Chain A
Amino acid sequence: MNEELNFREILLMLLKRWKLILLITSLCTIGTALVSFYLLTPIYQAKTEILVNRSLDSTVESMLSVAEIDSNLKLIETYRVIIESPRVMERVLEVIGAGATMEDLLLQTKVEPVKDSQVISITVEDPDQGRAVLIANTIATTFQGEVVKMLSMNNVHILAEARNNPAAIPVSPKPILNSVIAFVLGLATSMVVVFLLVQMDTRLQSEKEVEEYLGLPVLATIAVIDKKTRKAFRQPKVEEVRNEYEKAEA
């Protein structure tokens, strides 16, 4: 194959095999869409937010110094670890009942401080929306109770409770996004397939190729005799002869 394939040639090559490209791309897209819509379990999300306020607790009216903010941040990090600790999580497991393990619970729970604030958000993902809400709220209340017990500080407030929302849209899977990704990937794959097919096809298909590989002039090009033309040429007499030959061969 000539190394210098120009853009026009590539485009023509792809256009020539548009059916294959269409087939592979649509198979990928439709397949992914079907799987996303019908096979994958929808996952719902529930979120609670916890406010940690230290200065409220302190009797001294202190200036909000850099050190103060820094210690606040550290406190928030400490609280995050506490939330994820077995002490809190075991309680949650008791509340939501059997069938759940600590690992699963930790995997579906995401605890992270909201940036530049004293708020910690707890996000829970679960196939069942009610369960997600229950877990999120249980974590928040359990944590609140534990903090009072452990640190004897009542500085944790639940800012926003998770609520059951009947109109909630699952966070995953995202069928449209998945389909778009599948479409792009399918398009790319089919193009690679076409390139490979063209590279593997070593038939002499054009005058250019004949001259390139054989170094001989093309004296004439005969087009494919299509079925319509072939039928038009079939003379009745020859048809009879043909039948006779076929009988003799049988």
Chain B
Amino acid sequence: MSMRRQKPDDRYQKLIAHWEPLSPLVEGYRTLRLNIQFSMGDKLMQTILVTSPGASEGKTITAANLSLMMAKDHKKTVLLDFDLRNPRVHFTFDMPNLYGISSYFSDMCQIPDIIQPSGVSELSIITAGPIPHNPAEMLGTPRLLELMAYLRQNYDFVIVDSPPLIVSDAMVLAREMDGCVMVVDASKTKRDSAVKAVEQLKAAGANLLGVVLNNKKVGKREGYYGYGYNA
């Protein structure tokens, strides 16, 4: 468990897309949103799973900022924290996690009860809730389908933050989603584990849209256009 703990500093990484809309980093998330919208084509790409081969490679940050970008595009969006083992979304958004997905799965709440406002218009959040003993079995129940059906009806976009692919949860979730985005940490993720993760997702029948290359070291010369707008 302690291996998966992020450093205290990283845990509170900010929602850059909200605070600094002109930052070149946000340009990356904007590109991600556009590319997801493009890859939709005729298909309905309403639910997106964000996962990664290993722990702390930037899933939550990517999911949070992607959902912010969607909300800022005036799409009614909901962000789900499906990492029932090591939930992080409530830290990122600085909100309580007294009830959430696990409470709904264990029949303690109804769906509307676990949806919380994020403080950003058009964006709602469902936190993970208390950490359950059997997260893998929970995901196998028909409640997952019910939840997704409900959210599909009420929202334009559903972004799901998931556990890494070293546990089976993400595979179960990926099957139920329209699209899947894999986060790869340029300073961390090894080729082999990434290749294995892709194979796992494909075997699970996920619609893998592509990769988000996170934490890439960008040289001074390769800076984005507009770098320094907010310097």
Interface residues of A (CB under 8 A from B): 202-207, 209-210, 213-225, 229-230, 232-235, 237-238, 241-242, 245-246
Q: How large is the interface on B (under 10, 10 to 19, 20 to 34, 35 or more residues)?
A: 35 or more
Query: Given contacts A204-B186, A204-B194, A218-B211, are A225 and B13 in contact (CB under 8 A)?
Result: yes
User: A222 is contacted by which of B11, B39, B209, B215 (Cβ under 8 Å)?
Assistant: B215
Question: By DSSP majority rule, is chain A's interface helix, strand, loop, or mixed?
Answer: mixed
Q: Which residues of A contact B189 (CB under 8 A)?
A: 203-204
Residue of A nearest to B32 (CB): A220
Contact across chains for B216 and A205 when beta carbons are under 8 A apart: yes
Contact across chains for A224 and B187 when beta carbons are under 8 A apart: yes
Q: How far is the CA of A225 from the CA of B214 in the complex (A)?
A: 10
Q: Smallest Cβ distance from A232 to chain B, in angstroms?
A: 8
Query: Given contacts A204-B194, A221-B28, A223-B25, are A216 and B215 in contact (CB under 8 A)?
Result: no
Q: Which residues of B contact A206 (CB under 8 A)?
A: 186, 213, 216
Q: Which residues of A contact B214 (CB under 8 A)?
A: 222
Contact across chains for B187 and A203 when beta carbons are under 8 A apart: yes
Contact across chains for A224 and B192 when beta carbons are under 8 A apart: no
Contact across chains for B198 and A216 when beta carbons are under 8 A apart: yes
Q: How many A-B residue pairs have CB under 8 A?
A: 127
Q: Smallest Cβ distance from B59 to chain A, in angstroms?
A: 12
Q: How far is the CA of A171 from the CA of B185 in the complex (A)?
A: 57
Task: Scan residues 14-31 of chain B and give those whose CB is less than 8 A from a CB of chain A.
Answer: 14, 16, 19-20, 23-25, 28-29, 31
Contact across chains for A219 and B187 when beta carbons are under 8 A apart: no
Contact across chains for A221 and B213 when beta carbons are under 8 A apart: yes
Residue of B nearest to A241 (CB): B94
Nearest first, the 6 A-B pairs at minimum CB distance are A220-B32, A233-B14, A219-B210, A217-B210, A219-B35, A222-B28
Is B208 located at the chain interface by the 8 A CB criterion?
Answer: yes
Task: Scan residues 149-184 of chain B and give those whose CB is less than 8 A from a CB of chain A.
Answer: 181-182, 184
Q: How far is the CA of A218 from the CA of B217 in the complex (A)?
A: 16
Write 5 A-B pairs (CB below 8 A) sorted by A numbering. Answer: A217-B211, A224-B216, A229-B16, A233-B13, A242-B12
Query: Given contacts A223-B24, A237-B94, are A210 and B213 in contact (CB under 8 A)?
Result: yes
Q: Smallest Cβ distance from B45 to chain A, in angstroms?
A: 12
Q: How far is the CA of A233 from the CA of B12 in the complex (A)?
A: 10
Q: Which residues of A contact B36 (CB under 8 A)?
A: 219
Contact across chains for B194 and A214 when beta carbons are under 8 A apart: yes
Q: Which residues of A contact B124 (CB under 8 A)?
A: none
Contact across chains for B14 and A234 when beta carbons are under 8 A apart: yes
Residue of A nearest to B213 (CB): A221
Contact across chains for A214 and B198 when beta carbons are under 8 A apart: yes
Q: Which residues of A contact B211 (CB under 8 A)?
A: 210, 214, 216-219
User: B8 is contacted by which of A213, A225, A246 (Cβ under 8 Å)?
Assistant: A246
Is B212 located at the chain interface by the 8 A CB criterion?
Answer: yes
Task: Scan residues 181-231 of chain B and give those whose CB is less than 8 A from a CB of chain A.
Answer: 181-182, 184, 186-192, 194-195, 198, 208-218, 224
Contact across chains for A213 and B16 when beta carbons are under 8 A apart: no
Q: Which residues of B contact A209 (CB under 8 A)?
A: 191
Q: Smallest Cβ distance from B89 to chain A, in angstroms?
A: 14
Residue of B nearest to A234 (CB): B14
Contact across chains for B191 and A204 when beta carbons are under 8 A apart: yes
User: A218 is contacted by which of B23, B210, B218 (Cβ under 8 Å)?
Assistant: B210
